[in-house]
């Protein structure tokens, strides 16, 4: 049996609440979190961000999803030609030379296909600062009854594959059938069950479609 290989990817693509939900439902994604990186300000916070950028960190099984596939999601999930302030800039933070080379090659390919200048920057990932609890799984947190039913702590909301998937569903991503399949598998075999009322709440959010108006 092949050994599971866990890797990380870090991306800045504007508001990190909306960025996180683009990755949470992807096969092979283990967990997602939001935080700050790229600047020199020590111990940044949302109110004292300094020169950092809002980012999403994706922990993934690279036997099930590749870094290139995550990059493809990054490119398709925002407009890389739109110049935002540094807090929301389009940026890729690579953790090794392989990621850096692939990111550079894809940036060059994207630029050759675009009639506008692409403003995306590529940096070496240095320090990743986890954002405050209230930013983690922002859309799932709108439904405390679901969090309470599952007994998820603040720490588990950061690391749990279940929380990552539910956060994306609560933002209106995915499909009803995909969610029901998750329920059938007890959300990735974590033996966590959701009652009928909470299931219907999530299904309605999915049926309503993506809602990132607060981002």
Judged against a pLDDT cut of 70, whether residue 96 lies above it is answered with yes
Range with lowest mean pLDDT among 79-93, 104-118, 192-206? 192-206
pTM of the model: 0.92
Q: Give the whole-angstrom CA distance, residue 152 versus residue 162.
A: 10
Q: Over the stretch 151-161, which tens digit does the pLDDT of each residue have?
A: 999 999 999 99
- DSSP lists the bridge partners of residue 94 as 124
Quote the percentage of the chain above a pLDDT of 70. Answer: 93
Range with lowest mean pLDDT among 32-36, 165-169, 184-188? 184-188
Could you confirm whether 170 is annotated as catalytic? no
Cα Rg for the chain, rounded, in angstroms? 17
Judged against a pLDDT cut of 80, whether residue 184 lies above it is answered with no
User: What is the average pLDDT across 86-109?
Assistant: 97
User: What is the average pLDDT across 126-153?
Assistant: 95
Judged against a pLDDT cut of 70, whether residue 4 lies above it is answered with no
Would you kindly state where each structural domain of the chain is located, as residue ranges?
6-130, 137-208
User: What is the average pLDDT across 2-10?
Assistant: 82
Among the listed residues 20, 9, 11, 8, the one whose alpha carbon sits nearest the alpha carbon of residue 89: 11
Core vs surface per residue 128-142: b (16+ CB within 10 A) or e: bbebeeebbbbbbbe
- DSSP lists the bridge partners of residue 114 as none
| Architecture in CATH for domain 6-130 | 2-Layer Sandwich (3.30)
DSSP 122-188: EEE----EEPPGGGTTTTGGG-HHHHHHHT--HHHHHH-HHHHHHHHHHTT-S-HHHHHHHHHTHHH
User: What is the average pLDDT across 16-26?
Assistant: 96
Q: Give the whole-angstrom CA distance, residue 36 versus residue 141.
A: 20
Give the pLDDT of residue 1: 42
User: What is the average pLDDT across 36-65?
Assistant: 96
Q: Over the stretch 59-89, which tens digit does the pLDDT of each residue have?
A: 999 999 999 999 999 999 999 999 889 999 9
Which candidate in 15, 58, 171, 205 is catalytic? 15
Share the mean pLDDT of the chain: 92
Give the pLDDT of residue 125: 97
Give the pLDDT of residue 140: 97
């Amino acid at each position: 049996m092949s050994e599971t290989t866990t890797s990380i990817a870090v991306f800045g693509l504007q508001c990190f609440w909306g960025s996180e939900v683009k990755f949470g439902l992807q096969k092979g994604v283990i967990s997602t979190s939001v935080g700050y990186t790229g600047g020199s300000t020590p111990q940044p916070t949302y109110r004292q961000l300094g020169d950092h950028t809002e980012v999403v960190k994706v922990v993934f099984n690279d036997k099930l999803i590749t870094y290139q596939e995550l990059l493809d999601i990054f490119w398709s999930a925002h407009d890389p030609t739109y110049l935002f302030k540094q807090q929301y800039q389009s940026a890729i933070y690579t953790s090794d030379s392989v990621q850096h080379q692939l990111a550079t090659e894809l940036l060059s390919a994207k630029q050759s296909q675009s009639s506008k200048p692409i403003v995306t920057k590529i940096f070496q990932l240095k320090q990743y600062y986890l954002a405050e609890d209230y930013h983690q799984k922002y859309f799932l947190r709108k439904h405390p009854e679901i969090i309470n039913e599952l007994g998820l702590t603040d720490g588990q909301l950061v690391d749990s594959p279940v929380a990552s998937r539910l956060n994306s569903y609560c933002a209106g991503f995915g499909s009803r059938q995909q969610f029901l399949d998750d329920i059938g598998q007890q959300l990735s075999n974590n033996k966590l069950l959701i009652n009928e009322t909470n299931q219907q709440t999530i299904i309605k959010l999915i049926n309503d479609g993506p809602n990132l108006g607060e981002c």
